Amino acid sequence: MIFTVAIDGPAAAGKGTISRAVAERFGFAHLDTGALYRAVGVKGGDPVAAARGLTPADLARDDLRTLEAGQAASKVAVIPEVRQALLDFQRDFARRAGGAVLDGRDIGTVICPEAEVKLFVTASPEVRAHRRWLEVGGDAAQVLAEVKERDARDMTRADAPLKPAADAVVIDTSRLSIEEAIAAACAVVSERLCK
C-alpha cells in the first residue's frame, strides 16, 4: 500500500510529535524532513555540496535539535539548489510501500502535492516560543524573536514558502494537549484510510 501523510507547519507547533505518533499508530515510516536541512546547515561549508553528499550519519548527529541548527536549516532551505538536491530523496521516501509520514514546511505544497492526507499543524508564535524555550532554554524574549524571525524567513522565501496546502486540514495546537492534537491528526488519517 502506498499512502502518504504530509504534515507541515512552523517550528515548535508540534508537527514532529504528531508525525511520530501518527507513524507509530498506523505502522508507517517517518521522515522529519527538517532534519535533512538541519544536517545540511550544521555540516557547514558549501550547502549544495553538503545536501548532495548527505549520509545517514549526518542525520544521526546529536546537535540537530539545537536553536543554532534550526536557524542554520532555515538559512540553507532558501537555496533552490539545496531544495532540489533533497527533493528526490523525500519523494522516494513518501511513496515507499507500507505508507509514510513526512513532516516539514512544504510537504503538502511542493514535495508531495498528491499526498492522501495533508495536515497543517500550527500554534501562536508565543506558544511555540514557550515550547522551544522549554526544550532549549536561553532567554525567553530572544527565543520568541528567533521564532518570529524564522517564521518570516520561512513564509516569505521565494522557493516553497511555508503555507498550508489548499486542501490541508489545519490543526491549531495552541490550546490542545499533545494527546488531543495526536487524536485529531489520527482521526483525519483514519477517515482517509477508510475511503
Confirm whether residue 137 is marked as ligand binding.
Answer: no
Confirm whether residue 115 is marked as ligand binding.
Answer: no
The closest alpha carbon to 121, from 140, 134, 133, 108, belongs to 108
In angstroms and rounded to an integer, the radius of gyration of the C-alpha atoms of the chain is 16
* Spatial separation of the C-alpha atoms in residues 143 and 66, rounded to whole Å: 12
Cell of 46: 558549501
* Spatial separation of the C-alpha atoms in residues 111 and 104, rounded to whole Å: 10
Cell of 174: 495552541
Confirm whether residue 16 is marked as ligand binding.
Answer: yes
Burial 53-74 (b: 16+ CB within 10 A, else e): ebeeebeeeeebeebebbbbbb
Q: Hey, CA dihedral for 72, 45, 88, 96, is it positive or negative?
A: negative
Confirm whether residue 15 is marked as ligand binding.
Answer: yes
Confirm whether residue 14 is marked as ligand binding.
Answer: yes
C-alpha angle 132-135-141 in degrees, rounded to nearest 5: 45
Confirm whether residue 12 is marked as ligand binding.
Answer: yes
Confirm whether residue 77 is marked as ligand binding.
Answer: no
Run of H or E residues at 150: helix 140-156
- Residues annotated in a binding site: 9-17
Enumerate the known binding-site residues for ATP: 9-17
